Amino acid sequence: MAECALNRWGRGEFKGFSAGSRPKGAIHPLTLELLEELGYATKDLRSKSWAEFAGPDGPRIDLVFTVCDQAAAEPCPLWPGRPITAHWGVPDPAAFEGTDGEKRRLFARIYRELENRIKLFADLEIETLNDHALRQRLNEIGAAGLAKQEPPG
């Protein structure tokens, strides 16, 4: 979800990649359903390991955002080029137990929260910020998002 949103709202200034420490091998069907409803092309999306991006042959990475709440406690790889990192945690919607309608509402809420943060990020004048100021702004954005809501239902 974050990869698609960054590639849309980054207005060509950013190239987003999504990867995980333990990819499932397939994108969750509700993620694909939501992204298609929002007008995203999903044909080329795939489940990826972050190891694909941590090696010397991976693309240049300037910023790394961890988004899964569980990722905050995991050791991250040593990224080539030492990119700036920030944690923008959201619950993993795939782990939620509930009705199909509740699951769809949670996926949509998580998408909106990520999209909100990505829009704030995309509006930053990054070229005017030093690394310290950029880290601070990224942490502030990570604390932003939607107000805490009741569980879907």
Residue percentage of the chain with pLDDT more than 90: 58
pLDDT in tens, 93-147: 988 999 999 999 999 999 999 999 999 999 999 999 999 999 999 999 998 765 4
pLDDT class for 60, splitting at 50, 70, 90? Answer: confident
What is residue 61's predicted lDDT score, i.e. its pLDDT?
Answer: 87
What is residue 151's predicted lDDT score, i.e. its pLDDT?
Answer: 45
Long-range contacts for 145-148 (Cβ within 8 Å, ≥24 apart)?
Answer: 145/88, 145/90, 145/113, 145/114, 145/116, 145/117, 146/109, 146/112, 146/113, 146/116
What is residue 69's predicted lDDT score, i.e. its pLDDT?
Answer: 67
Q: What is the mean pLDDT of residues 18-27?
A: 88
The model carries a pTM of 0.85
Q: What is the mean pLDDT of residues 67-76?
A: 65
Q: Is 91 helix (H, G, I), strand (E, B) or coil?
A: coil
What is residue 112's predicted lDDT score, i.e. its pLDDT?
Answer: 95
Complete domains list, the chain, with CATH: 2-143 (3.40.50.2300)
- How far CA 152 is from CA of 39, 51, 92, 119, in Å, comes to 24, 33, 14, 24
pLDDT class for 153, splitting at 50, 70, 90? Answer: very low
**CA distance linking residue 34 with residue 102, whole number of Å:** 13
What is residue 152's predicted lDDT score, i.e. its pLDDT?
Answer: 46
CB 116 within 8 A of CB 145: yes
